[in-house]
Amino acid sequence: MSRRIRWGVRLALLVGLFAYFAIAGRAFLSTGNLYTLGEGFAMIGIIAIGVAVTMLAGEFDLSIGAIASTGGMIALMAGEDSTWVGVAAGAAFGVTVGLLNGVLVGYLRMQSMVVTVGMLVAVSGLGAELTDGSGEPLDNFDLSAGVVEAIGEVFSIRSLTTLAVIGVVGLVLTWTRIGRDVRAVGSDRRAAAVNGVSEPRVMITVFVFSGLCGGVGGSLLAYSLAYAQADFSGGLNILLPAVTAAVIGGVGLAGGVGTARGVFFGSVTMTVLSNGLGSVAASAAVISLSTGGLLLLIVFLDAQEKALGRRLSERRLLRTRAGP
């Protein structure tokens, strides 16, 4: 599939969903619901961009959802009087875990799936201990009100933060050396090493970044809800829509492929889908089925495309060998 067709399909999906819910849903296009969409996007988007950056480098951060839920607890515990202190604490927690992930993957050369799933278990365990297995409430409602306050009717601090993060990632990926290095390591590790790219440095960068996204996203979410819930699913409920958003946005599962713009579109699509299903009063079953089904479809297409590419390059190879 050419790039233009891919973008066409993606836009059609988004516009189609949007149009359907605008017609079928109750009050889908009201200002209030646009604000709600923004709040949904804030969480999906910031987690999606974090995990997408690790995917770009050919790795995967399974622990980001757990970092978000435990980071949210830490934020509310440290920042009972100040949102800044809380978010900083949540962010510092995310960066620490990310650094550990990065060192294990980059310097000790372990598989990122293994490292991050272990980190997920460890971080969830910490979260359970911090809240005694229940949850952490925020008593200072003024702080919560500040975080959820609407800016320009439909935005909030949270959605603007996510937009800013995605924008910055877009700039960094296109214009800076580290951005090009991340992509280079993700598409061809050996070639990147030959060209002097430091793989450990790239690994530290991407995992610290995804930890940061998890920490900040989780902290802001916890403030907006004035509550951080103990999470026994290991953050999978947070991870699933975000990963789906990233792959809908064209981030490849094999590394090296993807853009911040794509992640933005994917996140908006996922937000519209889950919010819209709510507005047409779909059951939990329909939401699980459609999110999972959509992700499965994309995995399938991605694999088919890879297989097609392999066949094409084999044919090309045969032709060169048989050449004149």
Partner 1 sequence: MTARLSGVDVQSLVFRGVVLAVAVIGSIAVDGFADVDNLRALLSSIAIVGIVALGLVFVTISGNLFILSIGATMAVSSVIFAALVGDLGIVPALVATIGAGAVIGLVQGVIVGRFSGDPIITTIAVGSVILGFGQVFAGGDTIRAGRDVSVLRSDVLDVIPIEGLVFIVMAVVAYVLLTWSRFGAFVRLTGENREAARIAGVPVVGCTIVCYAIAAAAAALAAAFLSARAGQGRLDVGIGMDFDAIAVLLVAGVAVTGGRGSVVNVALGALFIGMVANILAVLGEDYATQLFARGIIVLLALIAAGVAGRLRKDQS
Q: Is residue 245 near partner 1 by the rule CB under 8 A?
A: no
Q: Is residue 129 near partner 1 by the rule CB under 8 A?
A: yes
Q: Is residue 296 near partner 1 by the rule CB under 8 A?
A: yes
Q: Is residue 193 near partner 1 by the rule CB under 8 A?
A: no
Q: Please report, as residue ranges, which positions from 305 to 324 form the binding site for partner 1 (by CB under 8 A).
A: 306-307
Binding residue for partner 1, selected from 47, 115, 138, 263, defined by CB under 8 A: 115
- Count, residues near partner 1 per rule CB under 8 A: 57
The first and second tokens of residue 169, run together, are: 């990632």
Binding residue for partner 1, selected from 139, 283, 319, 323, defined by CB under 8 A: 283
Q: Is residue 68 near partner 1 by the rule CB under 8 A?
A: no
In this chain, which stretch among 36-44, 101-109, 151-159, 261-269 interacts with partner 1, using CB under 8 A? 101-109
Shortest distance (Å) from residue 45 CB to partner 1: 19
Q: Is residue 240 near partner 1 by the rule CB under 8 A?
A: yes
Angle of helix 3-24 versus helix 260-279 axis, rounded to 10: 20
- Outline where 136-198 has alpha helix (H): 141-148, 157-175, 177-187, 189-194
- Three-state SS at 194: helix
- Outline where 60-156 has alpha helix (H): 64-78, 83-106, 112-131, 141-148
Under 8 Å CB-to-CB from 223, ≥6 apart: which residues?
75, 76, 79, 83, 86, 87, 138, 143, 144, 147
The first and second tokens of residue 43, run together, are: 């969480």
Nearer to partner 1 by Cβ, of 120 and 147: the residue is 120
Q: Is residue 263 near partner 1 by the rule CB under 8 A?
A: no
State the Cα–Cα distance between residues 215 and 93, nearest whole angstrom.
7
State the Cα–Cα distance between residues 119 and 127, nearest whole angstrom.
12
Task: State the DSSP code for 135.
Answer: E
Binding footprint of partner 1 on the chain (CB under 8 A): 60, 62, 104, 107-111, 113-115, 117-126, 128-129, 131-133, 230, 232-234, 236, 239-240, 243-244, 247, 253, 283-293, 295-296, 299-300, 302-304, 306-307
